[in-house]
Amino acid sequence: MPEVHQIDIHHVAKLARLSLTDDEAARYASQLDGILTYIDTLTRYDLDGVEPTAHAMPVFDVLRADEARPGFTQEQALSNAPKRTADQFQIAKVIE
């Protein structure tokens, strides 16, 4: 027979700084009891030797090799600049 959990839902709501109506408190108390009952079910299993995991399946980063590639020439980089001075971008003054 499942264990009945005694939870003061109003105290939990106060800790979370929530104001609940009586209907909300009853609904949340029922949901929380269901969650705790499910956890009780899980504690019945022998999990010795089972390593904790964050995902059910292994997760791998798929990264490409870091290879140098040719970049823009200085002229190509400055070709669309609205204003330029010699070999630099010219922008409006930012700090007054």
Mean pLDDT of 55-73: 86
- The CA distance from 65 to 69, in Å, is 12
Q: What is the mean pLDDT of the chain?
A: 87
Paired tokens of 39: 């956890």
Beta carbons within 10 angstroms of residue 29's beta carbon: 19
Element (H, E) at 89: strand 88-89
Which range scores top for mean pLDDT: 18-32, 39-53, 57-71? Answer: 18-32
pLDDT tens per residue, range 1-44 = 456 678 889 998 999 999 999 999 999 988 988 899 898 888 88
Mean pLDDT of 83-89: 89
pTM listed for this prediction = 0.45
